Structure 1
Amino acid sequence: MGARCSRVLAESNPARYGFLWRWFDEIYALLDLLLQRHYLSRTSASFSENFYSLKRIPLDGGSGLWRLASHGLPRTQHWRSLLVIIAVPYVKVKLDRLFARLREEDDYAIHLPESSWKRLYKAFLAAYPFVNMGWEGWFLIYRLLYIFGRTQSHSPLLRAAGVRLGNLTPADLQGIEQSSSSVSVPSSSESVVGKLTSFLGKAVGGVAMSLSTGVSVGVFFLQFLEWWYSSENQETIKSLSSLPTPPPPVHFDRLTDKTLPRLKTMCPLCNKIRTNDTALATSGYVFCYRCAYSYVKRHQRCPVTGYPSELQHLVKLYSPEA
């Protein structure tokens, strides 16, 4: 949704909003960092995990069993989680786009003599599909091991962060609610930096809570738009809402084969060989210019089909011999 909005703004005003599309990945990563850091600190879970009432529990020992989600993760697991949530997907997206761009350039580019950069370029194009397949296979293996109870984490990224997922308990929910409703008043002895940090934290928290309530509605609305504008749905809507085909003109019903000349080079009005061929854009029939001009000016319709026509609908035809 954000990418589409950025693209629409960039296309509508490239000079002002073009940077939103060029730096979309970086802007998105920065905003996602603020959002995920807030949720990891307040709920011990990412935004999506908290949406499904999940929390992250450290793997080292049993400290995570008694630690409330509102207390946040330990420092090590907190920064590891941020790394795998923000940095790893960002690098993966950049590599995928680089591979797609280089492969397209390789298909259409003129191949220059071999160089060290060219060999590295070809090695990347040859190796990346296998690296990507190994990456996806790594995730598949972890999911299979998790299904059979051989590992506590269903994803290698969770394992790298040193956490596993668990359900929020009633005590966790109560602690998160109390943490969200409590407002700390800074004392007079606090430094300006401390007050500023507290203010920024509250501001980020307010924005994050607004996002948590608005994103669910936004996701539903986005899914609705994707369904509404899907090709299958558009065909259904078109079939239900399209108007019936209008009947042919009355003048065309009275048309017989004798009305039109048998030779294609003859004018339907004067029944002579056409001179200064002119087509009528509303119907496609070709006449002499003088005949078509006089008839359309007098009757404002096509001589053959009866379609309403004007003089600006006359189109001069130039034969290849001319």
Structure 2
Amino acid sequence: MAEGAHLTSAVGHGRPSIFEVLAQESLISTVRPAVKHAVRVAAENRPEKFGWLLRYYDEVYTTLDFLLEQYYLRKYCATFAENFYSLKRVSPSQKSSRLPRGVIWKSLLCVVILPYVKQKLDEKFENLRHLYNTYAGNQEMSKLSRTFVAVYPYVHTIWEGAILSYQTAYMFGKCDWHSPFLQLTGVTLCNDLEDGEEGQRSRSLPWQQLSLQGKMMFIMKKMLNFTAVSVSTGLSVGLFFIQFLDWWYSSETSHKSLTSLPVPDPPQRDDTTEAAQFNVCPICHRTRSNDTALSVSGYVFCYPCIYDYVKEYKKCPVTRFPAQTEHLIKLYITGS
């Protein structure tokens, strides 16, 4: 639904349409992977400078997202994406133009913290499932980990099913919230029409009847509105272009990401003699078992050794290149 990020919001009264709601959610889901792609490219070209940023990308992005959303909720009574599409959060307990502090913290919990926890649980499930599918990993997993692998798919289905049911009910006018988390926050979404009403009041007076101060204010408002529209349009087109580039590189040139890394220096004989041997793991320095190659560097390790190392340190133990568990490749060596 990335293409929804470049839709323009329609001006309406009260309840926003399902297209506006889905468009602002699509904008949220578009920004994170687009920024991560840019960070990944920087880390692959300069691993010594930007490798840490890729390893802790989720934490850094969540922190910046928390500060951004807190600012927009306090100033505009809306998240960044909702304000982008001229939507506004309204609380029944709201007694002024500002959202209550409790509502702001609930919104931050649902908009920033819960998606971060959900993403971490998804990554944990994928890692444990990969370990569970291997014979050695299945024996090493704890009972709690096995229970998590068995139960989490049902939790994920309930999560997605609840969101889909709310969106369906909202589309047919049976519910005031398009998401259970919006209902948990205690707010509803509506169109923000304050700027349009102010503009109509300004245009109701002829130019000749305006005072000098009124004329200056009118010109400044026009310039600000033009700047805001230009920035919004440029940001919308830029986000769509970044998403297109992310799709292009992931679908057409993903195989070039590994070759873009600099070639590692050959191991020195004095300190990596064991690592240079044919069947010795560079981590445990013993004969390899369950051979597994790390695609970012080409070195071969024991599967338990390299899996635990990459999972903890997010890099190759020999070349120090950034690495993830999905870069592990099982090797099946047949007898001669």
Tell me which residue corresponds to 2:58: 25
Give the Å deviation of 1:13. Answer: 2.3
Q: Say if 2:106 is the partner of 1:80.
A: yes
Distance 1:112 1:231, change over 3 A: closer
Helix, strand or coil for the counterpart of 1:73?
Answer: coil
Give, in whole Å, the separation in 2 of the partners of 1:231 and 1:118: 37
Cα deviation for residue 214 of structure 1 reads: 5.5
Residue in structure 1 matching 2:235, options 215, 220, 230: 215
Unmatched 5+ stretches in structure 1: 176-207, 233-322
Q: 1:3 aligns with which of 36, 39, 61?
A: 36
Compare relative contact order (CA 8 Å, sep 6+) and give the higher one, 1 or 2: 2
CA distance in 2, matches of 1:44, 1:226: 31
Offset of residue 141 of structure 1: 1.9
Q: Using the alignment, how far apart are the partners of 2:175 and 2:57 within structure 1?
A: 36
2:118 equivalent in structure 1: 92
Aligned residue for 1:51?
A: 84
Matching residue within 172, 175, 187 for 1:163: 187
Amino acid at match of 1:218: G
Offset at residue 95 of structure 1 (A): 0.5
Aligned residues: 192
* Unmatched tracts of structure 2, length 5 or more: 1-33, 200-227, 253-336
Q: Whole-Å Cα distance in 1 between the matches of residues 68 and 39 of structure 2? A: 19
Sort the Cα spacing of 1:172 and 1:89 in 2 relative to 1 into closer, same or farther, 3 A: farther
* Offset, 1:154: 1.1
**Cα offset for 1:10?**
1.6
Structure 1 runs (4+) deviating above 4 angstroms are 111-114, 171-175, 208-214, 226-232
Query: Is residue 122 from structure 1 mapped to residue 155 from structure 2 by the alignment?
Result: no
CA gap 1:31/1:210 in 2 versus in 1, 3 angstroms: farther
What is the rounded CA distance, in whole Å, between the counterparts of 1:210 and 1:26 in structure 2?
31
SS at match of 1:110: helix
Distance 2:78 2:60 in 1: 22
State the identity as a percent.
46
Shift in CA distance, 209/88, structure 1 to aligned 2, threshold 3 Å: farther
| C-alpha displacement of 1:143 | 1.9
CA RMSD of aligned residues (A): 3.2
Q: Which amino acid in 2 is paired with 1:216?
A: S
The 5-angstrom pairing of residues 171-320 of structure 1 reads: 174=198, 215-226=235-246
* TM-score after normalising by structure 2: 0.51
After superposition, the C-alpha distances for 1:101-142 in whole angstroms (9 at most, x for unaligned) are 11111112415768xx71111100000000000111111221
Please point out which of 165, 174, 199 is paired with 1:141: 165
Q: Quickly say closer, same or farther: Cα 1:173–1:39, change in 2 above 3 A.
A: farther
Residue from 133, 150, 161 that aligns with 2:174: 150
* Higher Cα radius of gyration: 1
Counterpart code for 1:41: R
Deviation at 1:165, TM superposition (A): 0.4
Give distance in 1, aligned partners of 2:139 and 2:249: 48
